[in-house]
Amino acid sequence: MQLDKGDLVLISNGERTSTCIILTDKYAVTSESDYNFYYSYCVETGIYGIIYTSEVVTVLQKNFAPDFPIDGGLFDFECTFYEEYFYYPSFYPFEPDSTDESDDED
């Protein structure tokens, strides 16, 4: 089932059923579809969160709210720290153990 940004979907986790608006494209975490997810807005609770593709029961309305605002701190974070990892690709957060090097020569 292809879901797009702005679709209104019916989801269920087996205990509770809710309607959500899809706010992002699918985040494909693994090749198994059970772990792929979307960032969404729950209409009943007013809470932003993620829903897994396995929780989606059906699409209630395609293109329901394509310009729905994403209001939450999930996408508002500072990530310049991670740029250093690309600049120093051989960085290790620990020192290699060099005590065994002299023992090998004996």
Single pTM value for the model = 0.66
Torsion of CA 24, 25, 28, 33, to 10 degrees: 100
Domain edges within the chain? 8-87
Cβ contact 9:37 at 8 Å: no
Spatial separation of the C-alpha atoms in residues 57 and 53, rounded to whole Å: 9
pLDDT of 13 strictly over 60: yes
Residue 58: which pLDDT band, with cuts at 50, 70 and 90?
very high
Q: Averaged over 30-57, what is the pLDDT? A: 87
Beta strands in the chain, from DSSP E residues, in sequence order = 8-12, 17-22, 37-42, 48-52, 56-61
